[in-house]
Amino acid sequence: MQCNKCGNIAVYFNKISGVALCKKCFMKSIEEKVRWTIGKYGLFEWNDHILLAVSGGKDSLVMMKIIAEIEREFPQSTLIAVTIDEGIKNYREIGLKLAKKYAEKFGVEHEIYSFKKFYGYSLSEIVEKAYEKKLPHHPCTYCGVLRRKLLNVKGKELGATKIATAHNLDDEAQTILMNILRGDVERLIRLLRAENTKIPGFIPRVKPMQLIPESELALYAYYSNIELYSVDCPYSHTSLRDEIRRFLNIFEKKHPGAKYSIYSSFRKISQKLAKNMVEIEFKRCKYCGEPTTRELCRACELLEQLGLI
Protein backbone atom coordinates (compact mmCIF):
# COMPACT_ATOMS: atom_id res chain seq x y z
CA MET A 1 0.00 0.00 0.00
CA GLN A 2 1.20 3.51 -0.85
CA CYS A 3 1.05 6.69 1.23
CA ASN A 4 -1.84 8.84 0.02
CA LYS A 5 0.23 11.98 0.56
CA CYS A 6 3.67 11.23 -0.92
CA GLY A 7 3.52 7.82 -2.58
CA ASN A 8 6.06 6.15 -0.24
CA ILE A 9 5.33 2.79 1.35
CA ALA A 10 2.46 3.15 3.82
CA VAL A 11 2.88 1.95 7.40
CA TYR A 12 -0.46 3.13 8.70
CA PHE A 13 -3.99 2.63 7.44
CA ASN A 14 -7.05 4.36 8.89
CA LYS A 15 -10.08 2.09 8.63
CA ILE A 16 -12.57 4.90 9.04
CA SER A 17 -11.20 7.48 6.62
CA GLY A 18 -9.50 4.96 4.31
CA VAL A 19 -6.29 7.03 4.42
CA ALA A 20 -2.89 5.28 4.14
CA LEU A 21 0.26 7.07 5.30
CA CYS A 22 4.00 6.46 5.31
CA LYS A 23 6.02 6.82 8.52
CA LYS A 24 6.91 10.47 7.93
CA CYS A 25 3.43 11.56 6.84
CA PHE A 26 1.83 9.57 9.68
CA MET A 27 4.00 11.35 12.26
CA LYS A 28 3.24 14.70 10.68
CA SER A 29 -0.50 13.92 10.76
CA ILE A 30 -0.34 13.30 14.52
CA GLU A 31 1.57 16.52 15.11
CA GLU A 32 -0.95 18.42 13.00
CA LYS A 33 -3.84 16.91 14.92
CA VAL A 34 -2.29 18.16 18.17
CA ARG A 35 -1.85 21.63 16.68
CA TRP A 36 -5.42 21.54 15.43
CA THR A 37 -6.71 20.52 18.89
CA ILE A 38 -4.78 23.34 20.56
CA GLY A 39 -6.15 25.87 18.09
CA LYS A 40 -9.71 24.59 17.95
CA TYR A 41 -10.23 24.43 21.71
CA GLY A 42 -7.97 27.39 22.54
CA LEU A 43 -5.80 25.30 24.87
CA PHE A 44 -2.75 27.56 24.96
CA GLU A 45 -2.03 31.30 24.83
CA TRP A 46 1.13 32.55 23.14
CA ASN A 47 2.65 33.40 26.55
CA ASP A 48 1.46 30.49 28.67
CA HIS A 49 3.72 28.90 31.28
CA ILE A 50 2.89 25.31 30.59
CA LEU A 51 3.36 22.51 33.10
CA LEU A 52 3.51 19.17 31.28
CA ALA A 53 2.34 16.35 33.52
CA VAL A 54 4.74 13.60 32.46
CA SER A 55 4.37 10.18 34.04
CA GLY A 56 7.00 8.62 31.83
CA GLY A 57 4.43 6.53 29.96
CA LYS A 58 4.46 6.70 26.17
CA ASP A 59 1.52 9.11 25.93
CA SER A 60 3.14 11.73 28.13
CA LEU A 61 6.54 11.31 26.45
CA VAL A 62 4.95 11.78 23.02
CA MET A 63 3.12 14.85 24.34
CA MET A 64 6.39 16.27 25.66
CA LYS A 65 8.09 15.72 22.29
CA ILE A 66 5.31 17.31 20.23
CA ILE A 67 4.58 20.24 22.57
CA ALA A 68 8.31 21.03 22.94
CA GLU A 69 8.48 21.22 19.15
CA ILE A 70 5.42 23.47 18.87
CA GLU A 71 6.41 25.76 21.72
CA ARG A 72 9.73 26.56 20.03
CA GLU A 73 7.65 28.85 17.84
CA PHE A 74 6.44 30.75 20.92
CA PRO A 75 9.46 32.28 22.67
CA GLN A 76 7.29 34.02 25.28
CA SER A 77 5.90 30.68 26.36
CA THR A 78 7.75 28.38 28.78
CA LEU A 79 7.61 24.65 29.39
CA ILE A 80 8.34 22.58 32.46
CA ALA A 81 7.81 18.85 32.78
CA VAL A 82 6.69 17.55 36.16
CA THR A 83 6.64 13.93 37.25
CA ILE A 84 4.79 12.89 40.36
CA ASP A 85 6.37 10.07 42.30
CA GLU A 86 3.32 8.50 43.93
CA GLY A 87 5.45 5.80 45.50
CA ILE A 88 4.18 2.67 43.80
CA LYS A 89 6.69 -0.10 44.46
CA ASN A 90 8.26 -1.86 41.45
CA TYR A 91 6.52 0.46 39.01
CA ARG A 92 7.13 4.16 39.38
CA GLU A 93 10.95 3.90 39.24
CA ILE A 94 10.97 3.07 35.51
CA GLY A 95 8.65 5.96 34.66
CA LEU A 96 10.78 8.43 36.61
CA LYS A 97 13.89 7.32 34.75
CA LEU A 98 12.23 7.60 31.33
CA ALA A 99 10.65 10.98 32.12
CA LYS A 100 14.06 12.35 33.14
CA LYS A 101 15.82 10.86 30.12
CA TYR A 102 13.37 12.21 27.52
CA ALA A 103 12.97 15.62 29.19
CA GLU A 104 16.73 16.00 28.71
CA LYS A 105 16.52 14.72 25.15
CA PHE A 106 13.70 17.11 24.19
CA GLY A 107 15.30 20.01 26.08
CA VAL A 108 12.55 20.45 28.66
CA GLU A 109 13.22 21.40 32.29
CA HIS A 110 12.12 18.60 34.61
CA GLU A 111 10.99 18.42 38.24
CA ILE A 112 9.97 15.47 40.40
CA TYR A 113 7.64 15.76 43.40
CA SER A 114 6.74 12.85 45.64
CA PHE A 115 3.65 11.94 47.64
CA LYS A 116 5.97 10.84 50.44
CA LYS A 117 7.60 14.24 50.75
CA PHE A 118 4.45 16.31 50.25
CA TYR A 119 1.82 14.25 52.05
CA GLY A 120 4.15 12.30 54.34
CA TYR A 121 3.00 8.94 52.90
CA SER A 122 3.56 7.05 49.67
CA LEU A 123 0.58 5.71 47.71
CA SER A 124 1.47 2.15 48.76
CA GLU A 125 1.36 3.24 52.41
CA ILE A 126 -1.93 5.06 51.89
CA VAL A 127 -3.52 2.05 50.17
CA GLU A 128 -2.39 -0.20 53.02
CA LYS A 129 -3.97 2.17 55.53
CA ALA A 130 -7.20 2.18 53.51
CA TYR A 131 -7.28 -1.64 53.52
CA GLU A 132 -6.73 -1.65 57.28
CA LYS A 133 -9.55 0.82 57.82
CA LYS A 134 -11.75 -1.08 55.33
CA LEU A 135 -12.44 2.10 53.38
CA PRO A 136 -14.35 1.49 50.15
CA HIS A 137 -12.17 3.56 47.81
CA HIS A 138 -10.12 2.10 45.00
CA PRO A 139 -6.34 2.83 44.95
CA CYS A 140 -6.92 4.85 41.75
CA THR A 141 -9.14 7.24 43.72
CA TYR A 142 -6.36 8.15 46.16
CA CYS A 143 -3.78 8.25 43.40
CA GLY A 144 -5.82 10.51 41.11
CA VAL A 145 -7.05 12.94 43.75
CA LEU A 146 -3.67 13.34 45.47
CA ARG A 147 -1.76 13.59 42.17
CA ARG A 148 -4.03 16.30 40.82
CA LYS A 149 -3.74 18.31 44.01
CA LEU A 150 0.05 18.03 44.09
CA LEU A 151 0.24 19.14 40.46
CA ASN A 152 -1.94 22.15 41.19
CA VAL A 153 0.01 23.18 44.31
CA LYS A 154 3.43 22.75 42.70
CA GLY A 155 2.16 24.30 39.46
CA LYS A 156 1.27 27.48 41.34
CA GLU A 157 4.67 27.55 43.02
CA LEU A 158 6.28 27.23 39.58
CA GLY A 159 4.09 30.00 38.14
CA ALA A 160 2.37 27.67 35.67
CA THR A 161 -0.68 29.06 33.86
CA LYS A 162 -1.76 25.74 32.30
CA ILE A 163 -1.36 22.08 33.21
CA ALA A 164 -1.24 19.84 30.14
CA THR A 165 -2.00 16.15 30.61
CA ALA A 166 -1.57 13.45 27.98
CA HIS A 167 -5.10 12.01 28.10
CA ASN A 168 -5.82 10.41 24.75
CA LEU A 169 -9.07 9.60 22.93
CA ASP A 170 -9.29 6.19 24.63
CA ASP A 171 -8.91 7.76 28.08
CA GLU A 172 -11.63 10.28 27.31
CA ALA A 173 -14.06 7.68 25.96
CA GLN A 174 -13.38 5.43 28.98
CA THR A 175 -13.93 8.27 31.43
CA ILE A 176 -17.20 9.29 29.81
CA LEU A 177 -18.53 5.74 29.75
CA MET A 178 -17.34 5.18 33.32
CA ASN A 179 -19.20 8.21 34.61
CA ILE A 180 -22.32 7.23 32.71
CA LEU A 181 -22.20 3.68 34.09
CA ARG A 182 -21.73 5.11 37.57
CA GLY A 183 -24.48 7.67 37.04
CA ASP A 184 -22.07 10.45 37.92
CA VAL A 185 -23.41 13.30 35.81
CA GLU A 186 -21.83 15.98 37.95
CA ARG A 187 -18.37 14.62 37.22
CA LEU A 188 -19.25 14.30 33.56
CA ILE A 189 -20.07 17.99 33.46
CA ARG A 190 -16.99 18.89 35.50
CA LEU A 191 -14.80 17.24 32.84
CA LEU A 192 -15.61 20.15 30.57
CA ARG A 193 -15.52 22.83 33.23
CA ALA A 194 -11.92 22.04 34.15
CA GLU A 195 -10.88 22.95 30.64
CA ASN A 196 -12.81 26.15 30.11
CA THR A 197 -13.46 27.74 33.45
CA LYS A 198 -11.26 30.03 35.39
CA ILE A 199 -11.43 29.21 39.08
CA PRO A 200 -9.24 31.24 41.44
CA GLY A 201 -6.42 29.08 42.77
CA PHE A 202 -6.99 26.36 40.20
CA ILE A 203 -4.67 26.06 37.19
CA PRO A 204 -6.70 25.22 34.03
CA ARG A 205 -6.00 21.67 32.83
CA VAL A 206 -5.80 21.05 29.10
CA LYS A 207 -5.54 17.86 27.05
CA PRO A 208 -3.72 18.42 23.76
CA MET A 209 -3.79 14.68 22.87
CA GLN A 210 -7.52 14.21 23.48
CA LEU A 211 -8.30 13.45 19.82
CA ILE A 212 -5.58 10.87 19.26
CA PRO A 213 -6.36 7.17 19.78
CA GLU A 214 -4.06 5.27 22.10
CA SER A 215 -3.01 2.93 19.28
CA GLU A 216 -1.80 5.85 17.16
CA LEU A 217 0.16 7.29 20.08
CA ALA A 218 1.82 3.90 20.51
CA LEU A 219 2.79 3.87 16.82
CA TYR A 220 4.06 7.44 17.03
CA ALA A 221 6.14 6.56 20.13
CA TYR A 222 7.58 3.56 18.30
CA TYR A 223 8.62 5.65 15.29
CA SER A 224 10.08 8.30 17.61
CA ASN A 225 12.26 5.63 19.25
CA ILE A 226 10.56 6.34 22.55
CA GLU A 227 10.97 3.41 24.91
CA LEU A 228 7.74 1.78 25.95
CA TYR A 229 7.68 0.34 29.40
CA SER A 230 5.37 -2.56 29.38
CA VAL A 231 4.96 -2.84 33.15
CA ASP A 232 1.40 -1.99 34.11
CA CYS A 233 0.56 -0.22 37.33
CA PRO A 234 -0.04 -3.02 39.88
CA TYR A 235 -3.33 -1.40 40.86
CA SER A 236 -4.76 -0.88 37.37
CA HIS A 237 -6.04 -4.41 36.81
CA THR A 238 -8.54 -4.17 39.58
CA SER A 239 -10.17 -1.05 38.26
CA LEU A 240 -13.50 -0.36 36.60
CA ARG A 241 -11.55 1.61 34.01
CA ASP A 242 -9.68 -1.52 33.00
CA GLU A 243 -12.93 -3.38 32.48
CA ILE A 244 -14.32 -0.59 30.35
CA ARG A 245 -11.06 -0.35 28.40
CA ARG A 246 -11.38 -3.99 27.40
CA PHE A 247 -15.02 -3.60 26.40
CA LEU A 248 -14.28 -0.49 24.34
CA ASN A 249 -11.37 -2.14 22.54
CA ILE A 250 -13.52 -5.09 21.53
CA PHE A 251 -16.31 -2.74 20.54
CA GLU A 252 -14.04 -0.46 18.52
CA LYS A 253 -12.74 -3.43 16.53
CA LYS A 254 -16.25 -4.36 15.51
CA HIS A 255 -17.43 -0.79 15.04
CA PRO A 256 -14.50 1.40 14.02
CA GLY A 257 -15.01 4.95 15.20
CA ALA A 258 -16.97 4.05 18.35
CA LYS A 259 -14.48 5.72 20.71
CA TYR A 260 -14.61 8.92 18.75
CA SER A 261 -18.41 8.72 18.70
CA ILE A 262 -18.56 8.55 22.48
CA TYR A 263 -16.16 11.45 22.76
CA SER A 264 -17.98 13.64 20.26
CA SER A 265 -21.44 12.80 21.67
CA PHE A 266 -20.23 14.02 24.98
CA ARG A 267 -18.64 17.16 23.54
CA LYS A 268 -21.94 18.02 21.90
CA ILE A 269 -23.90 17.38 25.07
CA SER A 270 -21.39 19.37 27.12
CA GLN A 271 -21.60 22.33 24.78
CA LYS A 272 -25.36 22.34 25.02
CA LEU A 273 -25.16 22.04 28.80
CA ALA A 274 -22.49 24.71 29.16
CA LYS A 275 -24.91 27.33 27.88
CA ASN A 276 -27.06 27.33 30.98
CA MET A 277 -24.61 26.19 33.60
CA VAL A 278 -24.95 27.74 36.99
CA GLU A 279 -21.72 29.14 38.34
CA ILE A 280 -20.50 27.00 41.21
CA GLU A 281 -19.22 28.87 44.22
CA PHE A 282 -15.71 27.93 45.28
CA LYS A 283 -14.38 28.15 48.80
CA ARG A 284 -10.94 27.39 50.17
CA CYS A 285 -10.25 24.10 51.93
CA LYS A 286 -10.09 24.79 55.66
CA TYR A 287 -7.00 22.60 55.99
CA CYS A 288 -4.86 23.43 52.96
CA GLY A 289 -6.43 26.46 51.27
CA GLU A 290 -6.89 24.76 47.88
CA PRO A 291 -10.10 25.66 45.98
CA THR A 292 -13.07 23.39 46.71
CA THR A 293 -16.86 23.50 46.61
CA ARG A 294 -17.04 22.02 50.12
CA GLU A 295 -15.47 22.60 53.53
CA LEU A 296 -12.57 20.27 52.80
CA CYS A 297 -10.95 19.59 49.44
CA ARG A 298 -11.27 16.00 48.28
CA ALA A 299 -7.60 15.26 49.03
CA CYS A 300 -7.84 16.45 52.65
CA GLU A 301 -11.14 14.62 53.02
CA LEU A 302 -9.55 11.32 51.93
CA LEU A 303 -6.52 11.85 54.17
CA GLU A 304 -8.76 12.70 57.11
CA GLN A 305 -10.76 9.49 56.65
CA LEU A 306 -7.45 7.65 56.82
CA GLY A 307 -6.48 9.49 59.98
CA LEU A 308 -3.43 10.92 58.21
CA ILE A 309 -4.33 14.57 58.72
What is the rounded CA–CA span in Å between residue 272 and residue 45? 25
Contact between 182 and its own copies per CB under 8 A: yes
The enclosing H or E element of 172 equals helix 169-182
CB atoms within 10 A of CB 51: 27
Contact between 192 and its own copies per CB under 8 A: no
Smallest gap from Cβ 267 to its own copies, in A, equals: 9
Integer angstrom CA distances of residue 209 from 164, 171, 279, 284? 9, 10, 28, 31
Smallest gap from Cβ 183 to its own copies, in A, equals: 3
Residues 77-116 that bind its own copies (CB under 8 A): none
Query: Is 282 in a helix, a strand, or coil?
Result: coil
Contact between 258 and its own copies per CB under 8 A: yes
Query: Is 111 in a helix, a strand, or coil?
Result: strand
Contact between 169 and its own copies per CB under 8 A: no
Size of the site for its own copies (CB under 8 A): 30
Contact between 251 and its own copies per CB under 8 A: yes
Q: Which residue, among 208, 258, 256, 250, has the nearest Cα to 19 in the 3D structure?
A: 256
What is the rounded CA–CA span in Å between residue 217 and residue 259? 15
Smallest gap from Cβ 197 to its own copies, in A, equals: 17
Contact between 254 and its own copies per CB under 8 A: yes
Q: Which is nearer to its own copies, 240 or 308 (CB)?
A: 240
Contact between 260 and its own copies per CB under 8 A: yes
Q: Which residue, among 105, 241, 78, 109, has the nearest Cα to 172 in the 3D structure?
A: 241
From candidates 13, 228, 247, 293, binder to its own copies by CB under 8 A? 247
Contact between 180 and its own copies per CB under 8 A: yes
What is the rounded CA–CA span in Å between residue 182 and residue 45? 35
Task: State the alpha helices, DSSP H only, in 79-138.
Answer: 92-106, 115-119, 123-132
Contact between 272 and its own copies per CB under 8 A: yes
Smallest gap from Cβ 244 to its own copies, in A, equals: 9
Q: Which is nearer to its own copies, 186 or 304 (CB)?
A: 186
Q: Which residue, among 261, 171, 223, 257, has the nearest Cα to 31 in the 3D structure?
A: 223
Q: Which is nearer to its own copies, 50 or 176 (CB)?
A: 176
From candidates 108, 130, 166, 262, binder to its own copies by CB under 8 A? 262
Q: Which residue, among 31, 13, 35, 32, has the nearest Cα to 22 in the 3D structure?
A: 13
Contact between 279 and its own copies per CB under 8 A: no
Smallest gap from Cβ 194 to its own copies, in A, equals: 18
List residues binding its own copies (CB under 8 A). 176-177, 179-185, 188, 240, 243, 247, 251, 254-255, 257-258, 260-262, 264-266, 268-269, 272-273, 275-276
